[in-house]
A and B are shown apart, each in its own frame.
Chain A
Amino acid sequence: MDLRTRLEPGHPACAGCGAAIAMKIASAVVPSNTRVVIPASCWSIILGKYPFSSLKLPVIHTPFALASAFATGMRAAKSVPVMVWAGDGATYDIGFGLLSAAAERNEDIVYVCYDNEAYMNTGGQKSSATPKAAKTPTTPQGKETEKKDIIAIMKAHKIPYIATASIAFPEDLQRKIKKAFSIKGFSFILIHSPCPTGWKMEPSLTVKASRMAVESGIFKLVEIKHGQERETYKPTCYVNPREYYKLQGRMPRDE
């Protein structure tokens, strides 16, 4: 695995932050002039305060909904690699229309969603990526609806490259990031990125949780190249989904 890292120590993410781990793994393999486009999210904060930056890449902050549009304009202006780095709230919810539009136009950008399954920056409120039954500040009785299937939606856009990845499978994640940058047109990568703070989970369990999500078959590792879908890892299914959800204090306890 490529161990060069562009994420500096001392950044202000919580201990065990999956979103920071995801960036650490992904940023190591992107071209050195990659523009990283960051909408409002925990990552707006993890980047650090002026005059510091935790990430050794060119970065631009954008309003919450507008990352796909900024990225489009940047790529239209210059022939440089552009990567959106957005949370699930920006992706599944507020920036969804603009994401869909950029995908439909097949813009030559890499769109990464680090999915921590809620609006963590504002305190863990539900997003449409939050799993059913999760208790969040805005779903105190537990979320009543299912998690949105963003991969199926992106697939319907017929873009050249779609992949899911997990911070517990770093080689697979890096290979997919590299692949996305090598492909012309719109790429979408969804990274399962547990958030110990929002999930009410021990910070030491982040990677374990992400591995259990994959091994239990809840989060599938796939790659869809020009419509051809392939599982890049076969889960062992030795893990019961309940065991995975049990790690999260926000999920209901078994009776």
Chain B
Amino acid sequence: MRRIVTGTEATAIAAKLCKPKVISAYPITPQTYIIEKLAEYVSNGELNARYISTDSELSSIGIVAGAVAEGVRAFTATASHGLVFMHEALHWIAGGRLPVVMAVATRGLGAPWILMCDMQDALSQRDTGWMMLFASNAQEAHDFIPIAYKVAEEVHIPCMVCMDGFLISHTAEPVDLISQEAVDSFLPEFSPKLSLSDEPSTLWPIPEPDTYYLIKKDLFEDHKNALYIWKKAFREWQSVTKRKYDVCCGHMLEDAKTAFVSLGATVETALEAARRLRKKGEKVGVIGIKLFRPFPESDLKELSKGIEELLVIDKAVSMGKSGILFQEVKSTVDIPVRGFIGSMGGKDLTVERIERFFYEGKMWI
């Protein structure tokens, strides 16, 4: 069924179809509508779950962790200050191999207070051990929730499904909504390899350093291998919905000398910029990264074969160094890479500014 919905509603509908048994909720713009919608579904009986309206994101993330540790599917959503407030628990959950799925509507961080979009919140969680998926539109925000559950529960690694705040969260677009039957056939019941039981046992006993080292090595390797599980899940999704995704997608690359590289909604703006530049005779393509963790290294290398230079558009910066996505790309490929901080705090990332970046190559425009 096709309907015009915002990214937040598309996310809430998808979360409902995945039938989480526990939902924890704390409001923060621009995610709030997701948890409000879920409250509605639970209160009108469309979804049978315990809905817990909490005092803070610390409770919210702890509650979903506790539920998943008992072997039950759970859901929460957050943004911005809420996400960074959860930081300690994010590490704990990944280390504890709990396949929590959380939606994130990305937004800038204070000081000063800022409500609008960038990706400083999400990308500064890069090293927590979560898998990170970035939607480029409301359709993807919708589709990526069941796919994230499927992969997370198979590999026992948590996953954040991120969408650009406002640009996706608050923009109404036509979305092909998945049916309950489709989700039921795609997403199996959650049957964790590891959870609490009635028998004496300890979740996460303190190990010797050598064992701890092995635990981290396991997570590292499982993270890397999860890339193939993502590819498999995307293929299965395609057979159910006819919609095709990959961990990393190339556009107009056949004859391209240069390609923009980006995440999320920026990919769509970069596509428009590339089309305009092509009209001026420039051979430009676009590489959109969907899966940021695990990072699709070999796919990116493969897509950039024959390209002379990559132009990375970031919405998050590591102060004293460079854009965060820029670092990821730069450390993956052997060709020259330039970086542009396309937006912070919602500064309009126009096609014109991207074109200027193409010609001037400056970091701040």
Residue positions of A touching B, CB distance < 8 A: 6, 32-33, 35, 37, 44-45, 47-53, 55-63, 65-66, 68-78, 80, 97-98, 100-102, 104-105
A39→B190 CA distance, assembly (Å): 27
Known: A62-B92, A65-B88, A73-B24. 15 other contacts (CB 8 A): A50-B205, A50-B208, A51-B205, A60-B203, A65-B58, A73-B62, A73-B63, A73-B64, A76-B66, A77-B70, A78-B70, A80-B198, A100-B55, A101-B55, A101-B59
Contact of A69 among B62, B70, B205, B211 (CB under 8 A): B62
Interface residue tally for chain B (C-beta within 8 Å): 41
A59 touches B202 (CB 8 A): yes
A50 touches B52 (CB 8 A): no
Q: Is B71 positioned at the interface, with any CB of A under 8 Å from its CB?
A: yes
A52→B201 CA distance, assembly (Å): 9
Contact of B203 among A52, A57, A61 (CB under 8 A): A61
Across-interface contacts of B74 in A (CB, < 8 A): 73, 77
B66–chain A nearest beta-carbon distance, Å: 3
Across-interface contacts of B64 in A (CB, < 8 A): 73
Across-interface contacts of A58 in B (CB, < 8 A): 196-202
Known: A49-B205, A50-B211, A97-B56. A69 touches B198 (CB 8 A): no
Across-interface contacts of B198 in A (CB, < 8 A): 32-33, 58, 80
Name which residue of chain A comes closest to B50, CB basis: A76
A-B contact count (CB 8 A): 146
Known: A63-B92, A105-B52. A69 touches B208 (CB 8 A): no
A69 touches B203 (CB 8 A): no
Known: A70-B62, A98-B56, A101-B59. A35 touches B196 (CB 8 A): yes
B199 touches A73 (CB 8 A): no
Q: Is B204 positioned at the interface, with any CB of A under 8 Å from its CB?
A: yes
29 contacts between A and B (CB under 8 A): A33-B198, A44-B206, A47-B202, A50-B205, A50-B208, A55-B200, A56-B200, A59-B200, A65-B58, A66-B88, A68-B62, A69-B59, A69-B65, A70-B65, A70-B69, A72-B52, A73-B63, A73-B65, A73-B68, A74-B196, A76-B21, A76-B63, A76-B67, A77-B70, A78-B72, A98-B56, A101-B56, A104-B55, A105-B52
A100→B52 CA distance, assembly (Å): 15
Q: Is B110 positioned at the interface, with any CB of A under 8 Å from its CB?
A: no
B196–chain A nearest beta-carbon distance, Å: 5
Known: A58-B201, A73-B24. A101 touches B67 (CB 8 A): no
B20–chain A nearest beta-carbon distance, Å: 10
Q: Is B171 positioned at the interface, with any CB of A under 8 Å from its CB?
A: no
Across-interface contacts of B21 in A (CB, < 8 A): 76-77
B179–chain A nearest beta-carbon distance, Å: 27
Across-interface contacts of B68 in A (CB, < 8 A): 73, 77
Across-interface contacts of B205 in A (CB, < 8 A): 47-53, 61
Contact of A97 among B55, B67, B196 (CB under 8 A): B55
A74 touches B62 (CB 8 A): no
Interface string of B39-76 (1 = CB under 8 A from A): 00000000000101011101111111111111110100
Residue with the highest number of chain A CB atoms closer than 10 Å, among B71, B88, B200? B200
Known: A44-B206, A60-B196. A73 touches B92 (CB 8 A): no
Residue with the highest number of chain A CB atoms closer than 10 Å, among B61, B62, B71, B74? B62
A61→B202 CA distance, assembly (Å): 8
Residue positions of B touching A, CB distance < 8 A: 21-22, 24, 50, 52, 54-56, 58-72, 74, 88-89, 92, 196-208, 211
Across-interface contacts of A45 in B (CB, < 8 A): 206
A80→B69 CA distance, assembly (Å): 13
Across-interface contacts of A63 in B (CB, < 8 A): 62, 88-89, 92
For the complex of A and B, the 5 pairs showing the least CB-CB separation, nearest first, are A69-B62, A73-B66, A101-B55, A77-B72, A73-B63
A31→B224 CA distance, assembly (Å): 42
Residue with the highest number of chain A CB atoms closer than 10 Å, among B21, B196, B201, B202? B202
A62–chain B nearest beta-carbon distance, Å: 7
Contact of B59 among A56, A74, A75, A98 (CB under 8 A): A98
Across-interface contacts of B67 in A (CB, < 8 A): 73-74, 76-77
Contact of B54 among A61, A62, A101 (CB under 8 A): A101
B290–chain A nearest beta-carbon distance, Å: 29
Across-interface contacts of A37 in B (CB, < 8 A): 66
A37→B197 CA distance, assembly (Å): 13
A69 touches B66 (CB 8 A): yes
A101→B208 CA distance, assembly (Å): 35
Across-interface contacts of A55 in B (CB, < 8 A): 200
A130–chain B nearest beta-carbon distance, Å: 24
A174–chain B nearest beta-carbon distance, Å: 20
A53 touches B65 (CB 8 A): no
